[in-house]
Amino acid sequence: MITILTGVPGSGKTLYAVQMLQKAMGEGRECFTDIEGCKLGCAEAPEDWRDAPDGALLVYDEAHQSFPATGKAGLSNDPRVRDLDEHRHRGLDLVFITQASTRLHHDIRKLASEHIHLQRVFGTPAASVFRHARAFNENDKADRETADQSTWSFPRKLYGTYSSAVMHTARVRLPRKVVGAFLVAGVLLAWAVYSLSTNDFLHEPQAAQAAAGQAAEPAAPAAAESQSLGFASGEGDQEVEKPKGRGPYRWARSGVLPAVQGCISNASRCMCFDGSGRALDLTEAECRRAVTRPMPINIGGRRRGDSM
């Protein structure tokens, strides 16, 4: 099988080929390559691939230097190129590494049964892999979209197995659109956090609770006064039980309140007072009911027979 492996400098194409060699050696195949400084134990690739033993894997780096495009139509004058159509009979696999497939002889491109193009992802140790079952124009977007696509992470353990001046010097460079998107997202996130931390609705429940607590404090004495209504003997306060049913004192509520010491009523108004002369908070109906019903005790707190 003939494979064309393309990619610009630093895209990882040589590293990809080294990984292919390592896999083949693990399978027990004989491997030959001219990759500079290769330390996998492969033999040096012969200038004429026909000199390699049957079943071998041959990898030619910068293959356009040995098998250049001539720009001439028809068969090549190079017998190595003319005989490529018979390589399969010997079980050979040949990999031609180049920066652009158009730099290879057109006969190689016609005979290729696999074309792998690598495109590095923003300088990160990974590349997008475009794989076709034929040679294609790797610079054409429509052609790349018809290829099988995948992402390949660089195997760091193979960095030191060959010489490369580009692999370890590349820097991560994000495109402006991506950087702009990150900046916009950061600004929006900061604005959202600030808005949430200063929004009034987060403080309204606390303010409402504080206001409710302040309002409840002065209301406590009034509530204490209005908790229970009833009659008491003598001076001071007494606890009165809530009458049951629909009796005349059904308005009374349990609790302790100042005793009712007297009431005044006329045709238009009715008021009841405690021992200190304060008017009690009674409805007119409750007040008139207290007036019309006989007092169960001596409101003056005096015994009969006491002198006035």
194 within domain boundaries = no
Domain boundary among 155, 178, 201: 178
15 within domain boundaries = yes
Is the overall model pTM greater than 0.75, yes or no?
no
39 plus 147 within the same structural domain: yes
Residues 26-75: tens digit of each pLDDT: 999 999 999 999 999 999 999 999 999 999 999 999 999 999 999 888 88
Read off the DSSP letter of residue 190: H
160 plus 14 within the same structural domain: yes
Residues 54-63: tens digit of each pLDDT: 999 999 999 9
22 plus 144 within the same structural domain: yes
Quick one: pLDDT band at residue 196, thresholds 50, 70, 90?
A: confident
- State how many domains the chain has: 2
**Domain boundaries, position 163:** 2-178
Domain boundary among 116, 143, 178: 178
166 plus 248 within the same structural domain: no
160 plus 244 within the same structural domain: no
207 within domain boundaries = no
CATH of the domain at 18: 3.40.50.300
Q: Are 15 and 167 in contact (CB under 8 A)?
A: yes
| In 35-194, beta strands by DSSP E | 43-44, 57-60, 93-98, 114-120, 126-132, 148-153
